[in-house]
Amino acid sequence: MKVALFVTCLVDSLYPQVGEAMVRLLHQLGVDVDFPEQQTCCGQPAFNSGYWDDAREVARTLLDAFDPYDYVVSPSGSCCGMIHHYYPDLFAGDAQSRRRAGALAEKTYEFSQFLVRVLGVSDVGASFPARATYHPSCHGSRLLGVRDEPLELLRHVRGLELVPLAHAADCCGFGGTFAVKMGELSGAMVEDKVRHVEETQAQVLVGTDMGCLMNIGGRMAREGRRVRVMHLAQLLYEGTQAQHRREIVG
């Protein structure tokens, strides 16, 4: 099994610890992961802003970078959703690139999808004694269909009290360029999301897309709210390390 990490712009530039946690956890599960340095952006920001020629230029780097691999795994449902749903339109005028884009989409998985659907793993052997709630990202859940997989993984974490988030399916207000173009509306949406997170009295907010978590976590930090914001891969990896230490001790 030849597996490549599709790291995404936000993780590569701002949250490298998320990619590291994901790769380390996959290594623990017996999966060797390569990092093709040729990869760049998936093209989503340019595509959403109407600059399709620029989006195609960067998207072709993914077609080339990931061509040799059996699977491509990413810590973002949003970027995977771009490949699955919008690459066919992006490459509509180029039959060869469209075929390559289709092949890439078939083997590209969001992190939790890969664990549950491909590896058949729902229990990674993690322990994380805390009260947590889960925010499902819009693109991951609606475009890519990531719904049950993160929750399945979280339910198997020892000591984790997973509490439901009211209006969980509501957008956090990020939406990439939406947060810039519609700043006032975006601010009202994230304010609602933060209020619902606070209502759970959770110590940890978990998600699968760093765009959402950056937005929600940034708002909570500015308001002085003490809720730890974690990508699912971080919680699972830290949990496996905690469980390993517990087994050594006793």
On the question of pLDDT at 250 being above 70, the answer is no
- Mean pLDDT, residues 154-158: 98
Q: pLDDT at residue 23 above 70?
A: yes
Query: In three state form, how does the secondary structure of 187-219 look?
Result: HHHHHHHHHHHHHCCCCEEEECCHHHHHHHHHH
For residues 219 and 187, give the distance between their C-alpha atoms in angstroms, rounded to a whole number: 9
What's the average model confidence in pLDDT over 197-202?
97
The reply to whether 127-249 shares the fold of 3-118 is yes
Is the per-residue pLDDT at 51 higher than 80?
Answer: yes
Q: Where are the domains of the chain?
A: 3-118, 127-249
pLDDT (0 to 100) of residue 181: 83
Mean pLDDT, rounded, of the chain: 95
Q: How far is CA 209 from CA 9, 17, 69, 152, 230, in A?
A: 12, 13, 23, 17, 10
Whole-model pTM? 0.94
Q: What percent of the chain has pLDDT over 90?
A: 87
pLDDT tens, 104-150? 999 999 999 999 999 999 999 999 999 999 999 998 998 898 999 99
CATH architecture of the domain 127-249 equals 3-Layer(aba) Sandwich (3.40)
Return the pLDDT at 247: 80
Q: pLDDT per residue over 203-249, tens digit each?
A: 999 999 999 999 999 999 999 989 999 999 999 999 999 888 878 87
Inter-CA distances, 217 with 71, 121, 211, Å: 31, 29, 10
Q: What is the model's pLDDT at position 179?
A: 81
3-state helix, strand, coil in the chain (%, to 5): 55, 15, 30
DSSP track, 113-161:
HIIIIIS--S----EEEEEEEE---HIIIIIS--SHHHHHHHHTSEEEE
CATH class of residue range 3-118: alpha beta
